Chains A and B, each alone.
Chain A
Amino acid sequence: MSFTSIVLVKQVPDTANISGQVMKPDGTVNRAKLPAIFNPEDQVALELALQFRDKYGGTVKAVTMGPPKASELLRECLYMGADEVFLISDRKFAGADTLATSYVLSEAIKKLGAYDILFAGRQAIDGDTAQVGPQTAEKLGLPQITYVEQILKAEKKAIKVKRKIEGGFEILECSFPLLITVIKDAATPRPFKAKRVMAYKNARSLVELEKMVEGNSLLYMDELTEEYMSKSLFIPTLTMDELPLDQERCGLHGSPTKVHKIESVVLAGNEHIKVEPSKEGLEQLVSKLMDDHILG
């Protein structure tokens, strides 16, 4: 038995550490101004895919859609043990909501050849929507199992998983191919392997190589690309041109949801009654609450 897995990963702003002016006037996020991290549940999804490969054999491909900077994330996937990584990047994809994102992802996945299982994190911490996984599955005509906490067993034709539901769990069986989304408790991501970091720290995507050529008149793009490919350090990039996409359905333009307004959360700072932490103060408070029929 061996299975081909594709893991959908995303680089996200570290929403726990937001400071300064990070919102652009159009209401989208200026990601350049925030520290970017591996979306936690996507990293768990990659870990689960790697465990699945280690147990049953096969290959793990990691895919991300994002700006050229997202190559950083793909290198991290290689450090963890992904066999192949792919960047989906084009200015025309920018500003996409979950519908436009899942459209591009689904077309890119079709381009990557046959697969048995798609893995994704349940949700990303920048939007918490949990929509891209199911919407990608729908577009590919795949069944989906969300909130997966454990893969119990895989056989040639079907997989058995345990998923979380409100107040309990479900054990579901599904034929391949399918998409699963994974919750945080499903696995603990392995640390980067020093050997793999050494091997892949110089892996570069097309855009990154172009930047190197721009800054150095002695380098030629064709030769450089060939060199990186021969060393298996080339991160393939899928752009608008490589994919059979309807531009109307991509990026901000292809996104039905728009940000109308962004407000930072301001506290009303309303006046409250200060109660002294003394016996008398507390007895007064209790009397007031009883008079108001809130207590007693």
Chain B
Amino acid sequence: MKSHSNDVWVFIEQRSGKPADVSFELLSKGRKLVEVLKGKLKAVLIGSDTANIVEKIFKYGVVEILLVDHPDLRDYRTMPYSRIMHELVSEHKPRIVLFGATIIGRDLAPRVASFTRSGLTADCTDLQISDVTYLRKDYPELLLQIRPAFGGNIIATIITPDAPIQMATVREGVMENLPLTDAKKGKITKIEYKKDPDDDLIKIVERYQEESKVNLKAAPIIVAGGYGMGSREKFQLIKDLADVLGGEVAGSRAAVDAGFIPHERQVGQTGVTVRPKLYIACGISGAIQHRAGMQEANKIIAINSDPEAPIFDICHYGIVGDAVEIIPKFIDAFKHKLR
């Protein structure tokens, strides 16, 4: 048993052989963290037939992949995955372990943290390394785990000063995905899967999973509507504008709750986090929960009849007025300019 290293580990999540975007976002962030810590960036990959994922991982400057590849591990299952992960963490003692705050990550990370008695912070929106003085004691190079708390009303910075291993989950889309152009291929360390009787306590009887047809994260232009659109019929205007501009349609939670738009198109803290080139917010007041999911957009246009709406505090272009009247004019203006 060695004392902890300065290494940063990322758990690579795959679903039926397809890696999750959040894992690459975490590798991109992890690369920045190891630069400060002067440690190594490593990935843990558990699955079956993983060759193509391995290749993608090396595009992010990963020094080593700890690979557990076995047909029994094709799909995520709590028992074998958490056991393998906590065994690896206990043996190698990385300084930081990052997971996606997905259904899989949120099922897996707590068990690993519990076994290794590590600190774990859920749903971080930012991660930084900094020297910290806590209760008059100095701690060099701690991981600052920054997350909204209390329904988004406050931003908390969590630290794990005394535990050797710091763990965090991060929501998909919050961090940038930055592959390297000149990445070197790192080392692959294959780890044998030794089956434990507890691994089969839970059996998968059936699984149905379809890839989301909606990919808001990849859309360069997003037109989003809120409760202020007034009705499902008027919400059609959002679709009209998106179609003309070649963008995707999204909505605030209030619009989803009102039945204007399905949940898979919800932007915000309990939906998707996006960073498009252009985000047009129509009839969205701009509650903190919504802003958390879109404030990184390159340009934001806000259309709202209430000039005091908080959305105007973060937008680049503000239009005060009823979105229902303004959207058709916007469409006309765009068509006119295209000619």
A residues neighboring B (CB under 8 Å) = 13, 15-16, 18, 23, 27, 29, 97-99, 102, 125-135, 137-139, 143-147, 160, 164-175, 178, 255-265, 267-270, 272-279, 281-283, 285-287, 289-290, 292, 294-296
Assess the A286–B337 pair: CB atoms within 8 A: yes
B209 contacts the other chain (CB 8 A)? yes
Expressed in whole angstroms, the Cα–Cα distance for A175 and B198 within the complex equals 11
Q: Given A172-B202, A256-B162, A279-B329, verify A286-B313 contact (CB < 8 Å).
A: no
Chain A proximity of B118: nearest CB distance (Å): 6
Chain B proximity of A136: nearest CB distance (Å): 8
Assess the B122–A145 pair: CB atoms within 8 A: no
Cβ-defined partner of B318 (8 Å) among A167, A174, A256, A273: A273
Q: Given A138-B82, A294-B277, verify A168-B122 contact (CB < 8 Å).
A: no
Assess the A283–B333 pair: CB atoms within 8 A: yes
B 1-30 contacts with A by CB, 8 A: 15
B residues neighboring A (CB under 8 Å) = 15, 78-79, 82, 102-104, 106-107, 109-111, 113-115, 117-123, 132, 134, 144-145, 148-163, 198, 201-212, 221, 245, 277-278, 288, 298-299, 301-302, 310, 312-321, 325-326, 329-330, 332-334, 336-338
Q: List 23 A-B contacts (CB under 8 A).
A: A15-B153, A18-B150, A129-B121, A130-B106, A135-B114, A138-B114, A139-B114, A143-B78, A143-B198, A173-B205, A257-B121, A257-B159, A258-B159, A261-B156, A262-B149, A265-B148, A268-B313, A272-B318, A273-B318, A277-B326, A282-B330, A289-B278, A292-B299
Expressed in whole angstroms, the Cα–Cα distance for A133 and B82 within the complex equals 14
Q: Given A125-B151, A258-B134, verify A98-B336 contact (CB < 8 Å).
A: no
Cβ-defined partner of A257 (8 Å) among B102, B160, B201, B320: B160
Expressed in whole angstroms, the Cα–Cα distance for A294 and B334 within the complex equals 12
Assess the B154–A23 pair: CB atoms within 8 A: yes
- Chain A residues with CB below 8 A from B152, complex form: 265
Expressed in whole angstroms, the Cα–Cα distance for A278 and B329 within the complex equals 8
Assess the B115–A138 pair: CB atoms within 8 A: yes
- Chain B at the A interface: mostly helix, strand, loop or mixed? mixed
Q: Given A262-B156, A264-B153, A279-B329, verify A285-B162 contact (CB < 8 Å).
A: no
Assess the A127–B122 pair: CB atoms within 8 A: yes
Expressed in whole angstroms, the Cα–Cα distance for A178 and B203 within the complex equals 13
Assess the A282–B110 pair: CB atoms within 8 A: no
- Chain A at the B interface: mostly helix, strand, loop or mixed? mixed
Cβ-defined partner of A171 (8 Å) among B107, B205, B316: B205
Assess the B110–A131 pair: CB atoms within 8 A: yes
Assess the A166–B15 pair: CB atoms within 8 A: yes
Chain B proximity of A129: nearest CB distance (Å): 4
Cβ-defined partner of B120 (8 Å) among A99, A164, A167, A277: A99
Assess the A170–B154 pair: CB atoms within 8 A: no
Assess the A285–B205 pair: CB atoms within 8 A: no
- Chain A residues with CB below 8 A from B149, complex form: 127, 262
Assess the B150–A294 pair: CB atoms within 8 A: no
Cβ-defined partner of B159 (8 Å) among A132, A260, A265, A274: A260
Assess the B154–A135 pair: CB atoms within 8 A: no
- Chain B residues with CB below 8 A from A270, complex form: 313-314
Q: Given A165-B207, A273-B318, A289-B299, verify A263-B154 contact (CB < 8 Å).
A: yes
Name B264's closest neighbour in chain A (CB-CB). Answer: A167
Assess the B325–A277 pair: CB atoms within 8 A: yes
Cβ-defined partner of A174 (8 Å) among B157, B201, B301, B337: B201
Q: Given A128-B123, A143-B79, A285-B317, verify A134-B114 contact (CB < 8 Å).
A: yes
